[in-house]
């Protein structure tokens, strides 16, 4: 039965996602990788991406695509329910990605399943959905 989370779990899940944004934006790929289960499933098709079925593949894809990019990810308004050791979370999000040939500002949601592990909460599934995606390209 899904219930409202205990405060300690709520805080741990919020800290997990805060670390997700900070480590992603600072490109600390080794520590960012530790936030996911090894067999995570990540769906970024709603943002022009792919579906990755392991944390190694996902981290490789993201780190490659963000080479030479500056990013800022913001999340807020968590909706968290917990059923045992599984949490379902929806985060409102905004991100900014800037590279030499484009800038993107996006608004949408992360839909996640987090699982409690011996090391703490980890992201097992994630789907990124976009409500708005503004892309600017410099004039030629």
| DSSP result, 51-69 | EE-SHHHHHHHHHHHTTT-
Residue 46 lies in a domain: yes
pLDDT-derived band at 2 (thresholds 50, 70, 90) equals low
Which CATH number goes with the domain that contains 32? 3.10.450.50
> Given pLDDT bands bounded at 50, 70 and 90, which one contains residue 1?
low
Asked, for residue 32, whether it belongs to a domain, the answer is yes
Q: Over the stretch 21-73, which tens digit does the pLDDT of each residue have? A: 999 999 999 999 999 999 999 999 988 889 999 999 999 999 999 999 999 99
80-123 pLDDT, tens digit per residue, is 999 999 999 999 999 999 999 999 999 999 999 999 999 999 99
Looking at the structure of the chain, the number of domains it has is 1
Q: Which two tokens stand for residue 121?
A: 């909460």
CA–CA distances in Å: residue 28 to residues 23, 34, 59, 120: 5, 10, 10, 19
- Structural domain contains residue 120: yes
Digit-coded pLDDT (tens) for 9-23: 999 999 999 999 999
pLDDT for res 108: 97
Pairwise CA distance, residues 111 & 71, whole Å: 20
* Any domain includes 2: no
pLDDT at 54: 97
Q: How far is it, in rounded angstroms, from Cα 100 to Cα 18?
A: 27
Segments forming the whole domain that contains residue 42: 7-136
Query: Tokens 């608004």 identify what position?
Result: 107
Distance CA 132, CA 140 (A): 25
């Amino acid at each position: 039965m899904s219930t409202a989370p205990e405060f300690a779990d709520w805080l741990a899940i919020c800290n997990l996602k805060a670390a997700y944004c900070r480590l992603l934006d600072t490109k600390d790929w080794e520590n960012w990788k530790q936030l996911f289960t090894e067999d995570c499933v990540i769906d970024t098709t709603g943002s022009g991406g792919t579906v990755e079925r392991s944390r190694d593949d996902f981290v490789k894809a993201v780190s490659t695509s963000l080479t030479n990019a500056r990013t800022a990810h913001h999340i807020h308004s968590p909706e968290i329910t917990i059923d045992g050791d599984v949490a379902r979370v929806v985060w409102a999000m905004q991100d900014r990605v800037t590279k030499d040939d484009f800038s993107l500002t996006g608004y949408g949601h992360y839909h996640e399943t987090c699982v409690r592990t011996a090391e703490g909460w980890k992201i097992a599934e994630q789907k990124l959905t976009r409500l708005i995606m503004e892309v600017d390209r410099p004039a030629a």
